[in-house]
Amino acid sequence: MKGFDLFSGIGGFHEGAKNLLKDNFQAIAFCDFDEKSRIAYRSAYKDPEIIEFDDVNNITGELSSTILSSKKKSDINNILPNFDILFGGFPCQPFSSMGKGKGFGDDRGVLFFNIEMILKAKKPKYFILENVRGLMNIQNGEVMSYIMKSLERMGYQSTYWLLNAADYGVPQTRRRVFIVGELDGNNININPNTPPPKIPIHRRRIKSVKELLSMDVDSKYYLSEKIKKTILSDGTGGYKYKSQINMDPARPLTYTMHKMHRASQDNYYSDEYIKDGSKNRIRRITPYEALLIQGFKKNTSKRIVNTGLSDTQLYKLAGNAVSPAVVKEVMRHLLNF
């Protein structure tokens, strides 16, 4: 099976597909506007034959309409090889409660139109799209309604599910919308009432976040006594929320976790929890641990960390990633694998 990794990030879709299909999966191309994401992707999946794009508009052209002309179809087909499945973790900020929630009113929100154009031109058999749960309700549901009607008009049997990564073997609470489809499909699994089966705890490779935390890390990840007071506080003024550490599953990893929010938002763990040490020695997770908590395997995570990117950049990339373990189960369900 050949895949196109659009808005690829560091390759969560690629990793999930490879974990399921092994050598029967090949990524023919990937595309991401962020240079650091592309560096990490190249390091994680060392395949010189994968075509790299830095801007989806280099594939579709600048869009003034979602009507596919014969010339534009020809151009897209000349630029992009054929593939069986389209992956798209399209930018979530326009739909996120942490962003401005503008939806299609944000320039990044209209990137779905590029997905639409590629699906019209290439007609892959399958697609899997991912976004934040805010996508379901933005603009009173009009954005999601447009997306689903557009997919139906293109001939795709499609549906969407709100899935929590913690139900699929990832020790992190992470709720995301997955939209799936099959061209001219009659797939019993493409049904809003039949999401991918949850993985029972006894079948999970990783049963606790504690299994992913290193016994010894650089002292720079530990909180100083000065900053610890702020991190562990419940907030001030109009914003107060109970701070908790040693969360299992972990809190949702975010694009901004490098900023070290309070323990009501980000993840911090004590030596007492990690290795029966001091309860007063508390640290943040490392970038390597963040990738593991996101569901990337150890070898992939090491290759990404070893790119030479800064901790700040790695935290951003990890927080913005699609969880490969969830992708694997969504894909298994979609393909009746």
Structure confidence at residue 103 (pLDDT):
39
Quick one: 28 exposed, middle or buried, by C-beta within 10 A (0-12, 13-18, 19+)?
Answer: middle
Contact criterion met (CB below 8 Å) for 329 and 177: no
pLDDT value at residue 138: 86
pLDDT score for 66: 83
List of residues 6+ apart from 160 with CB closer than 8 A: 136, 144, 148, 177, 178, 179, 180, 192
Cα–Cα distances in angstroms (integers) from residue 229 to residues 226, 233, 246, 262, in the given order: 6, 6, 16, 10
From the centroid of its chain, how far is CA 335?
20
Contact 183, 156 (CB under 8 A): yes
User: For residue 334, what are the contacts with CB-CB under 8 A and spacing of at least 6?
Assistant: 126, 128, 180, 182, 187, 189, 190
| Residues 6+ away with beta carbon under 8 Å from 83 | 2, 3, 4, 28, 29, 122, 124
Asked if 287 contacts 314 with a C-beta cutoff of 8 angstroms, the reply is yes
Q: How far apart are the C-alpha atoms of 26 and 18, rounded to whole Å? A: 8
Q: Which domains, from first to last, does the chain contain?
A: 2-198+323-334 (3.40.50.150), 209-318 (3.90.120.10)
- pLDDT by residue for the chain (337 residues), tens digit each? 999 999 999 999 999 999 999 999 999 999 999 999 999 999 999 899 999 999 999 999 998 888 999 999 999 999 999 999 999 998 755 444 444 544 344 444 478 999 999 999 999 999 999 999 999 998 888 889 999 999 999 999 999 999 999 999 999 999 999 999 999 999 999 999 999 999 999 999 999 999 999 999 999 999 999 999 999 998 766 677 889 999 999 999 999 999 999 999 999 999 999 999 999 999 999 999 999 999 999 999 999 999 999 999 999 999 999 999 999 999 999 999 8
State the Cα–Cα distance between residues 31 and 34, nearest whole angstrom.
9
Q: Active-site residue numbers?
A: 92
